[in-house]
Structure 1
Amino acid sequence: MRDFYADDGGDREPQPQAEPGLHPRPEGAVDATSLTIEVDGELFALRPDSGGGTHYTWLSGPNPGYGFGLSPTGDLSLDEHRENIRAFLAMIDPSTGFIGDA
Structure 2
Amino acid sequence: MRDHYPEDAAIDAAAEPGVYTVPDTSATAPALTLDVEGEVFEVRADGRRGTEYVWSSGPNPGYGFGLSPTPDMSLEEHRENVRNFLAEIDPATGCLREG
**What RMSD over aligned residues (CA atoms) do the two structures have, in Å?**
1.5
Q: Mark the runs of 5 or more structure 2 residues left unpaired by the alignment.
A: 1-25
Q: Which residue of 2 aligns with 1:56?
A: 53
* TM superposition outliers: structure 1 runs of 4+ over 6 Å: none
Q: Which residue of 2 aligns with 1:77?
A: 74
Q: Mark the runs of 5 or more structure 1 residues left unpaired by the alignment.
A: 1-30
Q: Does 1:36 align with 2:36?
A: no
Q: Which residue of 2 aligns with 1:65?
A: 62
Q: Which protein has the larger Cα radius of gyration, Structure 1 or Structure 2?
A: 1
State TM-score, norm by structure 1. 0.68
CA shift at 1:74, angstroms? 1.2
Q: Which residue of 2 aligns with 1:47?
A: 44
Letter in 1 for 2:92: S
The total of aligned residue pairs comes to 73
Q: Does 1:88 align with 2:85?
A: yes
